[in-house]
Amino acid sequence: MKLKLISVSPKSVLLLAGLLRLAFILLSGKLYETEYWEYGEIAQQLLAGHGYSFPFTDENLNFLPDRYYPSALMPPVYVFFLLPFMLISNMVIRNLLLFLVQIAFSLLAMQLIFRWSEKRFEKPVASLILLLQAFYPELIYSVGTIGPTIIFHLLFAGILVSLSEKKHPIFTGVLAGVLVLMRSEALLPAGLLLAGTWFDGQKKAAFIASMSIFISLAPWLVRNHLQFGKPMLSASAGVNFYRGNNAGEIGDWPVQPEPLERRLRLVPENYEQQTDSLAMDSALNWISENPADYFRRLPEKFLRFWWLDWPDPRTHHWLYVIPWIFCLPLGIAGLWIRGFEGRAQLMMLFLTYTFIILVFFPQARYLTMVKFFWLIPAGNGLFLFFSTWRKQPHN
């Protein structure tokens, strides 16, 4: 028996999704958000005429606006996205406009995935994927967070659509380059996707897209080479590596002895790179001295990424836990039991981020970036579940 599901109008679903996200922003207190994290601090330094820099902190971790150092801590795209909003002095208006733009980006990302899904699945499957993305609580919450999560969804969705159309390798490369300048670790999945097009026989397109990525990254790499002596994407690899591999808990910050910290601050131009290098050295030393502990941590990192990051209290909320209890196994079923075109591309994203958190450390926001795309196989698995259920005899 062919499964029949109620037909849904994509425009209606997207309209409801937008209204629901707007209601969340208006009712949750997000309009009074004052924490813009590292992105906001760098934006404030730019507005103050200090260049792309980051402020020092006092012993209580309060920022010192008049003491700062050149930074490559965060890639620049989200900082520059945030910059015009930081010019608005009224906090409520600033946040309303910022979150309205992020809502628009989230709706566009869902529309792109629906377009991508329609070409790979039956219409009911594409509708189920859209419904999951539209009403998944964590994705509603994410439009009100300061950070590149929503734009990551949009850019990666754009790359998937662009690759599927096989027409615009320059556009694909630019999207991938902007994505990497949003999240530097995205170079790994983006690079693997382009490698896939090379091995799929599209060598010219893969070359053009790769050159487009390089050209997109070039200004940032040149800036960092001139400023720090090497063309790096970010200056946080050592810190993040230490956070996942140290004598304390997973996620601990590197804490330098106070005398060393004071000495490092005497040369602001080298502070960030010296701190990052020392953190990397400390992590490598810990691994060499504690290899058994290093390998014992890998299952914990895996579970904290794919199941529940239990030290983070935000992940204990029932709106976070219960939807994932259903969508995680549905996604596994949708990947392994009922295959589809494009599965390999999604697996590249899932596997590369798994590798990244095993090397570094898990955080809930990393899974939120991936979860948007996990709902594609979850929708496929949900269709499989309904199909199987309809075939069962019922009294």
What is the DSSP secondary-structure string of 45-96? HHHTT--SEEEEE-TT--EEEEEEEE--SS-SHHHHHHHHHHT---HHHHHH
Per-residue b or e along 107-136, where b marks 16 or more CB atoms closer than 10 Å to that residue's CB: bbbbbbbbbbbbebbbebbbbbbbbbbbeb
Give the pLDDT band of residue 1 (cuts 50, 70, 90). Answer: very low
| Residue 257 pLDDT | 79
pLDDT at 394: 52
- Tell whether 1 is covered by a domain: no
Q: Is residue 130 part of a domain?
A: yes
In a domain, 30, yes or no: yes
Q: Is residue 200 part of a domain?
A: yes
Query: Rounded to whole angstroms, how far apart are CA atoms 223 and 225?
Result: 5
Domain of residue 285, residue span: 10-391
pLDDT at 304 over 60: yes
DSSP characters for 300-357? HHHHHHHT--TTSGGGGSHHHHHHHHHHHHHHHHHHHTS--TTHHHHHHHHHHHHHHH
pLDDT: is 60 or 187 the higher one?
Answer: 187
What is the mean predicted confidence (pLDDT) over 293-315?
95
For residues 51-64, average pLDDT: 84
The answer to whether residue 3 sits within a structural domain is no
Q: Assign 71 a pLDDT band (cuts: 50, 70, 90).
A: very high
Residue 45 belongs to a domain: yes
Average pLDDT of every residue of the chain = 92
**Which of 364, 381, 129 minimizes the C-alpha distance to 251?**
364
Report the pLDDT averaged over residues 351-363.
96
What is the model's pLDDT at position 393? 59
Minimum mean pLDDT among 68-82, 196-210, 367-381: which range? 196-210
User: In this predicted model, what pLDDT tens digit does every residue of 14-51 receive, in sequence order?
Assistant: 999 999 999 999 999 999 999 999 999 999 999 999 99
65 vs 227, residue with greater confidence: 227
Domain count of the fold of the chain: 1
Q: What is the average per-residue pLDDT within 182-200? A: 92
DSSP letter at 145 equals: S
DSSP 110-125: HHHHHHHHHTTS-HHH
Q: What is the pLDDT of residues 83-118, one digit of tens each?
A: 999 999 999 999 999 999 999 999 999 999 999 999
In a domain, 215, yes or no: yes
Structure confidence at residue 4 (pLDDT): 55
Q: Residue 256 above 80 pLDDT?
A: no
**Residue 340 domain flag:** yes
For 141-170, what is each residue's pLDDT tens digit? 999 999 999 999 999 999 999 999 888 899
Confidence of residue 339 (pLDDT cuts 50, 70, 90): confident
Average pLDDT over residues 182-208: 91
Q: Which of 381, 376, 265, 365 is nearest to 320 (CA)?
A: 365
